[in-house]
Structure 1
Amino acid sequence: MSKTKERTVTPSANGAPPQRPVAGPVAPPRVSARRRRPGVIALSLALIAAGGAGVAVLLLQVGDRTPVVTVVRDVQVGQVLTEQDLGEASVALDPAVKAVRADDLKSVVGKRAAVELKPGSLLSPSQVTKDSLVKPGEQLVPIGLKPDQVPATALAPGQKVQLVHVPAQGATSVGDDGKPSDSAQETIAGRVVKASKAAPGTGIVVVDVATVAADGPKAAAWVAAGALRLVLDAPDGR
């Protein structure tokens, strides 16, 4: 609705009635045109182009998938892998992730699991081994460790350990000949084969340690007497 400007007319000298106000046209407001800013336009075009390039890169990454080997059922440490334990999946694989390619599936069948494998995980080359975790001439000794005896460093298959005989206070250490031993601390070298998770409630961790066959019975006797402690060796014996 346009606004009008009223114009007032005074009465004439002869007494004639005054005329009604006459409406006159009002000039429309002058609108100034905005100046175009070339810099803003150029920046907008650059942002649009960058956004399009980012979408293109994302689509390329999503489309770049690699067929890899996956684990489809639980596999215990030392268990021989079969084709039924493994599957295939196509995933967008980060270069930093080492995974067995689907083309190499048959190369891992028949090898042993070096760690516990869980369904839904990718299989990496370091998780399998062609060597038996318990070698000929060795025995496997299960050792239960209380929460205060478990090292803060997570136990993993292959770690070298020392089984230390710690007799109860006042007890005498017995040597291989059945006679009292002067050695205060007798040790047995071993290697971790598997370490369980802490048992609910007790927190006890069971560690399977491989020792030479001659030391297996002795280590088992120490465990039964509650006189054994497990000590981790430094990596590579250093």
Structure 2
Amino acid sequence: MSKTQERVGAVNSSGVPAQGHFAGPVTPPRVSARRRRPGVIALSLALIAAGGAGVAVLLLQVGHRTEVVTVVRDVQVGQVVTEGDLGTASIALDPAVKAVRGNDLDSVVGKRAAVELRPGSLLAPSQVTKDNLVKAGEQLVPIGLKPEQVPATALVPGQKVELVHVPAQGAADTGKTSDTRPETIEGRVVKASSAAPGTGIVVVDVATTAEEGPTAAAWVSAGTLRLVLAAPDGN
């Protein structure tokens, strides 16, 4: 037996070469080169480019700011809007938000507030009107509603209502048939106050014709008036 064979064969019972003996030369593992696929590389580059473009667009949108008109003082419904009631701010504006642009500020000065304007809010075009909320030939009748008389639907300017005359308490039996339709007056909400602390009474300003205004006021004084919301289409 040769010396090389003797060295290789000299192993202990565990299969480990015995001390002082050397195994034969060890061949290093073969590493195969990974083949690069041009299609995969091109797809990766395209995804990276698309992601970078998306980030760039987002940064441009965030950085793009628009000057808009803001409300800086309380303005009540029907009140004329002055330049001192308004201000401007530069914000990143969502296209879905309808706001008066800063360069159109002069166009809303002198109009009337169609709704109550509160400080810190953006001014929308629909919140102002060039029309007087109480038109020529109309009268404004204030009506106090108890909590149980206030509709669950919020009363807003422009909402059409009916003022209904009901019999006074204890005077229901007047000889008239019960199926007689009560007297009504058509009106339009101009403003509705918040509920008064303690009583919960809400005061609603209703515009009526000049001829029917005094009648509605008499019903209010006698406590025989009820307010009913008209159908959304006005019929």
Whole-angstrom distance in 1 between the partners of 2:77 and 2:24: 100
Structure 1 spans left out of the alignment, 5+ residues: 1-5, 11-18, 175-179
Aligned residues: 221
Query: Does the Cα contact within 8 Å between 1:194 and 1:209 map onto a contact in 2?
Result: yes
Whole-angstrom distance in 2 between the partners of 1:83 and 1:42: 59
Match of 1:100 in 2: 100
- String of CA shifts for 1:99-152, please: whole Å, max 9, x gaps: 222222112112110101112222122211222222344332222334443334
Pairing 1:68-217 to 2, within 5 Å after superposition: 68-168=68-168, 170-171=170-171, 185-198=182-195, 204-217=201-214
| Paired amino acid for 1:45 | L
Moved more, 220-229 or 120-129: 220-229
Match of 2:234 in 1: 237
Whole-angstrom distance in 1 between the partners of 2:197 and 2:34: 74
Moved more, 182-191 or 77-86: 182-191
Structure 2 spans left out of the alignment, 5+ residues: 1-6, 12-18
> What SS does the corresponding residue of 1:237 show, helix, strand or coil?
coil
Query: Does the Cα contact within 8 Å between 1:173 and 1:184 map onto a contact in 2?
Result: no
Query: Does the Cα contact within 8 Å between 1:9 and 1:20 map onto a contact in 2?
Result: no
Whole-angstrom distance in 2 between the partners of 1:173 and 1:188: 23
> How far 1:164 sits from its partner (Å)?
0.3
> What SS does the corresponding residue of 2:90 show, helix, strand or coil?
strand
> How far 1:203 sits from its partner (Å)?
5.1
- String of CA shifts for 1:27-78, please: whole Å, max 9, x gaps: 2222333332333322221211111111122123223332221111221111
C-alpha RMSD over aligned residues: 3.2
> What SS does the corresponding residue of 1:44 show, helix, strand or coil?
helix
> Aligned residues: percent identity?
80
The TM-score with structure 1 as length reference comes to: 0.76
